[in-house]
Structure 1
Amino acid sequence: MNRILTLGKKSILGLGLLFFISVFTIGFFAGDKYGDVIPVLNKRLVPIYKVDRVDKKISITLDGTWGANYTEELLDIFEENDVKVTFFFAGYWLEKYPDLVKKIAVEGHDVENHTYTHPHCNSLSPEQIEDELERTSDLIEELIGKRPRFFRPPFGEYNNKVIETATGLDYQVVQWSLDSLDWQEPGVQYIVDRILNNVTSGEIVLMHNNAPHTPEALRILIPELKKRGFKIVPLSELVYKDNYYIQSHSGLQVRQKGAGDRN
Structure 2
Amino acid sequence: MKKDQLLTRRRALLAGAAAVGAAGTAGALAVTPGNRPAGPAGPAPGPPAHRPMGSSAYRLQPLTGYGAPAAVPRRPPVRSEPILRLTGRGRTMLLTFDDGPDPRYTPDILDTLAKYDVRATFFVCGEMADYNRDLLYRMADEGHVVGNHTWSHPLLTRLGRRRIRSEMERTSEVVEQACGEPPRWFRAPYGAWNRAAFQLGAELGMEPLAWTVDTLDWTTPGTGTIVDRVEDGAAPGVVVLSHDAGGDRSQSVRALRRYVPELLDSGYHLTVPRRRYA
Same fold per TM (> 0.5)? Answer: yes
Q: State the AA in 2 paired with 1:137.
A: S
Separation of aligned partners in 2, 1:67 and 1:135: 18
Report Cα offsets for 1:39-68 as digits up to 9, x if no partner. 8xxxxx211111233311111000124843
CA deviations 1:176-196 (Å, max 9, x no partner) are 110111111111111111111
Shift of 1:38: 8.2
1:61-72 pair list within 5 angstroms: 61-65=96-100, 67-72=102-107
Of residues 198, 209, 213, the one that matches 1:174 is 209
Q: For residues 167-246 of structure 1, what are the structure 2 equivalents within 5 Å?
A: 167-210=202-245, 211-236=249-274, 241=276
In structure 2, the residue corresponding to 1:50 is in which secondary structure? coil
Partner residue, 1:47 = 82
Aligned to 1:257: none
Q: Which residue matches 1:109?
A: 144
- Give the share of equivalent positions with the same residue, in percent: 33
Q: Which among 189, 200, 208 is matched to residue 165 of structure 1?
A: 200
For residues 208-243 of structure 1, the C-alpha deviation after alignment (integer angstroms, 9 at most, x for no partner) is 113221121111111111111110012337xxx37x
Change beyond 3 A, Cα 1:78–1:124 = same
Q: CA deviation at 1:69?
A: 1.0
- Report if the CA contact (8 A) 2:91-2:267 is conserved: yes
Q: Residues of 2 paired with 1:91 and 1:155: CA distance?
A: 16
Greater fraction of residues in strand: 1
Relative to structure 1, the CA distance from residue 78 to residue 47 in structure 2 (aligned partners, 3 Å threshold; closer, same or farther) is: same
CA contact (8 A) 2:101 2:135 kept: no
What are the Cα deviations for residues 70-119 of structure 1, in whole angstroms up to 9, with x where unaligned?
11111111111000111111110011112222122212211110111111
TM-score between the two structures when normalised by the length of structure 2: 0.67
In structure 2, the residue matched to 1:145 is 180
Match of 1:191, SS? helix
Given the alignment, which residue of 81, 90, 94 partners 2:129?
94
8 A contact 2:184–2:206 mirrored in 1: yes
CA distance, structure 2, for counterparts of residue 65 and residue 180 of structure 1:
16
Distance (Å, rounded) in 1 between the aligned partners of 2:129 and 2:77: 32
CA distance in structure 1 between the aligned counterparts of 2:147 and 2:222, rounded to whole angstroms: 27
What TM-score, normalized to structure 1?
A: 0.71
Q: Aligned to 1:96, what secondary structure does the other structure show?
A: coil
User: Structure 2: which 5+ runs fail to align?
Assistant: 1-75
Cα distance in 1, alignment partners of residues 77 and 104 from structure 2: 41
Contact 2:185 2:206 in 1 (8 A): yes
